[in-house]
Amino acid sequence: MIVIPAIDLKNGKCVRLAQGDFQRATIYSENPVEIAEQWRAQGAQRIHIVDLDGSLAGSPRNRAVILEIVKAIPIPIELGGGIRDMKTIEFYLQQGVQWVILGTAALKNEAFVRDACLQFSGRIIVGIDAQDGLVAVQGWTEKTSEPAVAVARRYEDHGLAAIVYTDIQRDGMETGVNVEATRILAEAVSIPIIASGGVACMSDIEQVLDLEPFGVMGVIVGKALYTGGLSLEAAIDRAKR
């Protein structure tokens, strides 16, 4: 299993939101490239980047700083936020992004996601963000009645690289991973799952490690790294063992 540090971008700055609320954003750095360098130096095998402004707008809003990070950091980047057409996918992949994450599109435009999987095999990740097991889209501002498991099952056998599963209520709260919901999703599909939301300390890493046999291949860590609640180096070392 791999531990993936997160960089969330708002107005070109590195921030963390509480439960996906754009009104509850804490700025942790004015220099996201410097943060990415820090995670690389601490042993990160990949970095998770989200264009928060793009997720609301429906198109990229932090493109310049994203490309700066890609050029500066010689490790794979997975990128989400406002990626909703083939042109944007192609642009980012050509610029060196390893995987693009499709979130809102996964619910609202299944044909587009399937076409993207065919055209860019192994380079597409679907992001499923859920509250009480139901999917939310448009930067988490729009709740739906679609169960996360049902959405995930639509994309079996389409060549997805992974599904990032985020529990919105726990994201940015350091209250622990929703282990049960993550396990249920992992058992429901054969697609590799990346857990996200709520990691606070090493015991959370341990709990996600227990899900590896069910198909959980990674865990994203955000706020705990910025507050010092978790050491990235220690978490990576534990995951490797």
Distance separating alpha carbons of residues 140 and 143, to the nearest angstrom: 7
- The catalytic residue among 129, 167, 171, 204 is 129
Three-state secondary-structure class, residue 83: coil
105 vs 165 pLDDT, higher one: 165
Question: Is residue 51 flagged as an active site residue?
Answer: no
**What's domain 2-240's superfamily in CATH?**
Aldolase class I (3.20.20.70)
Q: What are the phi and psi torsion angles at 215 (to 5°)?
A: 115, 15
Say if CB 187 and CB 165 are below 8 A apart: no
Considering only residues 35 and 23, tell me which one the structure prediction assigns the higher pLDDT.
35
Quick one: CA dihedral 17, 78, 238, 186, positive or negative?
positive
- For 222, half-sphere exposure in the C-beta direction (CA atoms, 13 angstrom radius) is 32
The pLDDT score that the predictor gives to residue 199 is 93
Q: Is the pLDDT of residue 18 over 90?
A: no
138 pLDDT tier (thresholds 50, 70, 90): low
- Residue 210 has a pLDDT of 97
Paired with 16 in beta bridges are 26
Residues 185-199: pLDDT tens digits?
A: 999 999 999 999 889
Reported as a pLDDT band with limits 50, 70 and 90, residue 225 is very high
Read off the pLDDT of residues 154-178 as tens digits, 9 standing for 90 and up: 999 899 999 999 887 655 556 678 9
pLDDT band for position 69 (50/70/90)? very high
Instruction: Tell me what pLDDT residue 174 has.
Output: 64
Domain boundaries, the chain: 2-240
Neighbours of 141 (CB within 10 A): 12
The burial of 91, by beta-carbon neighbours within 10 Å (0-12 exposed, 13-18 middle, 19 or more buried), is given as: middle
Question: Does the active-site annotation cover 8?
Answer: yes
Written as six digits, the tokens of 80 are: 């989400």
Between CA 117 and CA 18 the distance in angstroms is 31
Q: What does R_g of the chain's alpha carbons equal in angstroms?
A: 16
